[in-house]
Amino acid sequence: MPGLSIVEGLLGADDSCEAPAASETRGKSTPPEGRRRTTPSELSRLGEVRQFGRVVGRSTAMHDLFDALKRFARTDVTVTFVGETGAGKDILAHAMHQESLRGRGPLVVFDCGSVAANLAESELLGHERGAFTGAVAAHAGAFERAHGGTLFLDEVAELPLDLQPRLLRALESRTVRRVGGKQDKPVDVRVVAATNRDLRADVAAGRFREDLFFRLAVAVVRVPPLRERLDDLPELVHTLLADLGRPELRGSDAAFDALRAHAWPGNVRELKNVLACALTLIELGGALLEPKHLRLLSSSNDPSWVDGLPLAGQRLDVIERAAIRQTLAQTCGNKIYAARALGIAVSTLYEKLKKYGA
């Protein structure tokens, strides 16, 4: 949702719970003219490094975000994260659960974009034995499995329109009725959602129910893209390298200059892929990350161009082939990382590679 501050507020509440807006650097991949880039050694003397769950940051944007999330974690208020693909919405949702009073309860993730449309209702609400062909046993849906904990509705804008009234009813009544069932089951869950889409635009276009939007948008939290939090790069790089098994590796100032100059259209997920690729290029026993190890694809801040050509008028297969080729180059040919970055299954990636003769 363009133009949001870190926290848009509590819709319908007496207190708006606004958080200060982060400085707007949308579309900027380099520091403002005249500002010298800050080296990692200088950053160590600047803003306090703070953490929320596994997410770290020293930037004003992340400090504002952490302050808001710590307040929300102490309540059962419904929180919806909005932000670009790869910005870390899912990790923040997990952190919200861990930091909440429900942290010892289950965290159930329901990916609205990956569940087949004909199975979405059963997976979300459950079904009784014999409810449909193939229902050989009763099945507890995501709401029931999350009882006493948190239900994370990832990519909630992708939920089929005909299922949205059932979700709305469950959110309002805190009960679910399984497919083929005759009784409502009470559920005690805290709901957290995430989307990379503008839900207001989807409501206006008839793709998302307005009443469901207001039910989810009790607290809307904008997750800043990586290009707006470049001061967090040293901490992010250190954390990601530790996750990849190389906590001792350090980056040179030149390497961080290269990282700061990149536009990061894929955000933190892209950064992790770049670092994973870099580890395959560093000499055995090497302890320093240099620019030569970084596979940073040249990118434009204008998303309407790919491979130097305008998207408008290009065949979809041409665009798809270019996206796959670029992602594989960025991940040093690692198909698991590439599939994850592209948002598809590894098997689907292999099918597309076969289709394109790659």
Q: Give CA–CA dist 48/245, Å, rounded.
A: 25
DSSP states along 56-91 = EE-SHHHHHHHHHHHHHHTS---EEEE--TTSSHHH
Tens digit of pLDDT for each residue in 121-154?
999 999 999 888 888 899 999 999 999 999 999 9
* Domains observed in the chain: 7-26+33-222 (3.40.50.300), 229-296 (1.10.8.60), 298-358 (1.10.10.60)
State pLDDT tens for residues 175-214.
999 999 989 999 999 999 999 999 999 999 999 999 999 9
Each residue's pLDDT tens digit, 214-269: 999 999 999 999 999 999 999 999 999 999 999 999 999 999 999 999 989 889 98
User: How does pLDDT run across 30-73, given as a tens digit for each residue?
Assistant: 343 433 455 555 445 456 889 998 898 999 999 999 999 999 99
Number of H helices, E strands in the chain: 14, 16
What number of other Cβ atoms are within 10 A of residue 270's Cβ? 23
Average pLDDT, the chain: 83
Residue 116 pLDDT level (bands cut at 50, 70, 90)? confident
| C-beta separation of 349 from 324 below 8 A | yes
Contact status, residue 61 vs residue 22, Cβ threshold 8 Å: yes
- B/e letters for 162-200, b = 16+ CB within 10 Å, e = fewer, are ebbebbbbbbeeeebbbbeeeeebebebbbbbbbbebbe
Nearest to 192 by CA among 141, 160, 144, 150: 150
